[in-house]
Structure formats: structure tokens, C-alpha cells
Structure 1
């Protein structure tokens, strides 16, 4: 992990940014093949006092949340319910999200 502090970017306004570059882990396709690398990961933070471990853990957890949202929308049809009552428009997505959470816990 390489950290660069006090970086300026036009859209950040007066805020100082911290750029974190996470080096990719090398891997081999076979035992005898050469070492290959993926692209590094870049994280930008406005909080310069945050612990790096906490920041990276938050990034990884956020990615899992985004995948969960995608699954709920594409697999379970969250947001596409065909209901007639006004109250059901608000309740159906919450119900589907709760069902998805129970399915994850059960698996």
C-alpha cells in the first residue's frame, strides 16, 4: 500500500485528498508460468486521519453491498413489482430486501 497525501483535484474544491494505491497480488496460471499481475486499486479519501486498515475494510464491504443491490435488482426484481396499492409501492422493495437477507443467512 502506497499513500500519497495532500493531493489537489479540481472537483475537490478546498479539500485535500489522500490517494491510496494498493499493489496487486501476483499470480500464476500454472506452476511454471511467469508471474502475472492485475491492475492496482486506487482509493481516494477526503479524511487524512483515517486508519488505512479501516479504509480498505470499508471499501471491501461496500463492494459486497453493491453486489447485493445488483442481485436484488436483477435476480429478484426489486423495484419492478406490479402492485396497485400506494402503500405496497414502499413495502415491496423492503420485503424483497429482507427476503434476500434471509436467503444469504440461510446459505
Structure 2
């Protein structure tokens, strides 16, 4: 029995879809790894909001954190795991499929 191509909508991920988590994944996908404070500044989020969303992504196995002391202060860096990268890319493909299904209406003005 032959199966057709995978449906890109299979990659839609409700966890990633949350706007703040989507933005975290997008930033980590482009930077590779980012310090918590840098993410907070770049995304314009409070520490508690970023912590909540990062925690959900960590719990799902999409993000991992690395802690180290720098300048005598504890710092936390976040990065996408391979699973997180796959989930993020799959979600983007699903969003593109949704948008691609739209056929623009031409209006004669």
C-alpha cells in the first residue's frame, strides 16, 4: 500500500504556535544559543513571561538550558534541541501550507 506525500499540516504544533513561544523558537533558530537576558530584551518580555514560555518548551524537550557563572553572576543560555528545531521547522511548513492554500482574489478597480 502506497502512501502519498506527508501532509504538511501534520507538523502543526500547538505548543510552538503560541506567539511568544513561536518568537522564542524563531530567535533561537537563527542565533543557535542566546542568553536569557538577551532573549528577554530582544522579545520585549518580562522575565516571568519568558520563564513561563521557556519552561514549557524545556518540558517538551524543545529547548535546553545551560547555566554558567559569568562576571560572578549565574547566567542561563537557551538553545533549541534537535527535536525543537524539527518541531519549529514542521510548524513553519504547516503555516506555509495554510497560507499557500489561500487563493488571492483579483479585484478590478
Q: What's the TM-score once normalised by structure 2's chain length?
A: 0.33
Q: Per residue, is there more helix in 1 or in 2?
A: 2
